Amino acid sequence: MATIGLSVPPGFTISTETCQEYGEHGKQLPLGLWDEVLDGLRAVEQDMGAVLGDPSRPLLLSVRSGAAISMPGMMDTVLNLGLNDEVVAGLAARSGERFAYDSYRRFLDMFGDVVLGIPHSLFEEKLEALKAAKGVTLDTDLTATDLKELVVEYKKVYMEAKGEQFPTDPRKQLYLAVLAVFDSWDSPRAIKYRSINQITGLKGTAVNIQCMVFGNMGSTSGTGVLFTRNPSTGEKKLYGEFLINAQGEDVVAGIRTPEDLDTMKQCMPEAYEELVENCCLLEKHYKDMMDIEFTVQENRLWMLQCRSGKRTGKGAVKIAVDMVKEGLVDIHSAIKMVEPGHVDQLLHPQFEDPSVYKDKVIAMGLPASPGAAVGQVVFNADDAEAWHAQGKAVVLVRTETSPEDVGGMHAATGILTTRGGMTSHAAVVARGWGKCCVSGCSDIRVNDSEKVVIVGDKVIQEGDWLSLNGSTGEVILGKQPLSPPALSGDLGTFMSWVDQIRQLKVMANADTPGDALTARNNGAEGIGLCRTEHMFFASDERIKAVRQMIMAATIEQRKAALNLLLPYQRSDFEGIFRAMD
């Protein structure tokens, strides 16, 4: 982004090769690397006119991961690095006490969680207790004095959880944060995500070290995440969310439910216009739909990150077709933009008739990932995986998802969260897998300990059936009927391009006339496998005849049973041949 002239905070990158060396040599940094990091730090300090650890000219850093293939939420980030009691006092003198101590408490939380392995819930408990004591509901309602109290409480968490003080040396903080980002490459959640998505051959993660820019400096600051096109539908319109007086983790982690980009357009029109221009430049440069993180600090826009945006099958096909029409890409490039899994998603079911369940809609959330899901309610990832292994369809219901839930999210047919927006962890991961997701559903209350969902006067228990409409955000009581989609519109156009260049014939597995007709309508040129034994599953009468044939005691009994089966099979084969004619 910097090379094409966009405003990017100064910084430097430790390469993926270094992560590979780190893992191969007993998790030791390569010889001489730390000296190179300090050289890079000095260059950033000179560029910014600030120094890491200097209270009079404080420089704060972000330390982020950066793999060659995007793995949203799977690896670690540390923000506001460089703060201690002396530096926060200097920052307060320059930028105000509330901002300084808000940044400090965020850093203590994130550093403890990511770097030292202290559960985030321990910090969250302190925060919720303070808000309850002060009679407020939002983090932003806490005063500077309140935040100073919270910093003291957060430091106690370090002693209670680790038996040691929070490390105050900024360079030691940086060293430990670099190790933590490298270590996150081999975390269980990252390994499982790569396995699920068949990501192989990568060397590791890079570490991006940048100076901090702040979205939590008051009403003229904010942070957001956006896609340059709608990742669910492919519509050419900015799709994203924005939070005033917040930092990026508030949006992507689903900690606060954000507002849409119209809020930014109204409150910060100049920064918004620059953002729109930047999005156009990035699409032209990368020739793809982009996922962007940005921050506005006192009305100045900073671009923090961009990557190819995760998208649904419907979104992928429309984006590819539209970009050909716009002249951004040619047909061959457009075909490469759509993965086989995207086409597979378009063959998944939708609700047959949404009008029939309108009186059963019990709550509305955000339409985070389209499609339909029907399943039995479970409340944690482990149960989702266990029930799925038993052949059950499940809907995973959480207050908010975290990267540790990735296995259960993959096992579920749909995901429902009470907090988080359309760019939260649950939404991004679900869209990447083509799973239905409804997020930010504040109408419901989840009680994990009792395993119930409370909606008004209704109580939904573990194992009860729920249906989700990820295209509308509807949460529907009971098990609603689904119908298959059709091959038409943008998908039809896209597949016609594929037909122009493919050299393989596509056959289908079809065991019934209905299967054969569906295959033919979707472009199959023949049947590669027809399992006649599956024909017998069509009715109880057929199964009974097969059992009679197997259990026959005499040749005559066996022939009689076979004579019962013959008309069924003859009729099925006639139907299959007719469908494929």
Neighbours of 152 (CB within 10 A): 10
Report the half-sphere exposure of 13 (CA within 13 A, side-chain side): 9
What would the two tokens of residue 434 be?
A: 């083509």
80 membership: H or E segment, kind and range: strand 77-81
Could you give the residue range(s) of every CATH 3.50.30.10 domain in the chain?
Answer: 350-483
Q: Tell me the CA end-to-end span of the chain in Å, nearest whole number.
A: 54
Mean pLDDT to the nearest integer, 98-112: 94
Q: Residue 399: phi, psi to the nearest 5?
A: -65, -50
The rounded distance, in Å, linking the Cα atoms of 444 and 362 is: 9
* DSSP-derived secondary structure letter, 364: E
Predicted confidence band of residue 234 (pLDDT cuts 50, 70, 90): very high
User: DSSP string of 323-343?
Assistant: HHHTTSS-HHHHHHHS-HHHH
Neighbours of 420 (CB within 10 A): 30
Percent of the chain exceeding pLDDT 90 equals: 67
Computed on alpha carbons and rounded to an integer, the radius of gyration of the chain in Å comes to 28
Neighbours of 429 (CB within 10 A): 27
What would the two tokens of residue 24 be?
A: 């191969």
Q: Residue 243: phi, psi to the nearest 5?
A: -125, 125
Residues 402, 503 contacting (CB under 8 angstroms): no
Percent of the chain exceeding pLDDT 70 equals: 97
User: How do residues 334-360 score in pLDDT, each as one tens digit?
Assistant: 999 999 878 876 776 678 777 788 889
Pairing mode, strands 452-455 and 458-461: antiparallel
The set of residues, in sequence order, having a beta carbon less than 8 Å from that of 42 and lying 6+ positions away, is none
pLDDT at position 95 over 70: yes
The reported pLDDT for the residue numbered 80 is 93
CA distances to 93, 108, 129, 179, 400 from 118, in Å: 30, 10, 18, 16, 19
* DSSP-derived secondary structure letter, 374: E
Q: What is the dihedral of CA 65, 66, 68, 71, to 10 degrees?
A: 60
pLDDT at position 195 over 80: yes
Whole-model pTM: value is: 0.65
Among residues 287, 327, 311, the alpha carbon closest in space to that of 370 is found at: 311
Task: Please count the residues of the chain.
Answer: 581
C-alpha angle 523-527-532 in degrees, rounded to nearest 5? 140
Predicted confidence band of residue 254 (pLDDT cuts 50, 70, 90): low
The reported pLDDT for the residue numbered 441 is 94
Mean pLDDT to the nearest integer, 371-399: 95
The letter for the amino acid at 390 is Q
CA distances to 311, 546, 547 from 539, in Å: 40, 11, 13
Cα four-point dihedral sign 297, 301, 307, 310:
positive
pLDDT at position 152 over 90: yes
User: How do residues 301-319 score in pLDDT, each as one tens digit?
Assistant: 999 989 999 888 888 999 9
- Winning range, highest mean pLDDT, from 70-84, 441-455, 532-546: 441-455
The rounded distance, in Å, linking the Cα atoms of 548 and 561 is: 6
Which stretches does DSSP call E strand in 342-456?
350-351, 361-364, 366-369, 372-378, 394-398, 414-417, 436-439, 445-447, 452-455
Neighbours of 52 (CB within 10 A): 23
The rounded distance, in Å, linking the Cα atoms of 204 and 518 is: 43
Q: Which residue has the higher pLDDT, 26 or 346?
A: 26
Pick from 168-177, 220-229, 425-434: least confident: 425-434
Top CATH class, 213-311: alpha beta
The reported pLDDT for the residue numbered 246 is 84
**Choices 3.50.30.10, 3.40.640.10, 3.90.1150.10, 3.40.50.1950: CATH for 350-483:** 3.50.30.10
3-state DSSP call for residue 26? coil
The set of residues, in sequence order, having a beta carbon less than 8 Å from that of 20 and lying 6+ positions away, is 203, 204
The rounded distance, in Å, linking the Cα atoms of 76 and 53 is: 23
User: DSSP string of 259-297?
Assistant: EEHHHHHHH-HHHHHHHHHHHHHHHHHHTS-EEEEEEEE
pLDDT at position 555 over 90: yes
Could you give the residue range(s) of every CATH 3.30.470.20 domain in the chain?
Answer: 213-311
pLDDT at position 158 over 80: yes
The set of residues, in sequence order, having a beta carbon less than 8 Å from that of 540 and lying 6+ positions away, is none
The set of residues, in sequence order, having a beta carbon less than 8 Å from that of 571 and lying 6+ positions away, is none
The reported pLDDT for the residue numbered 94 is 86
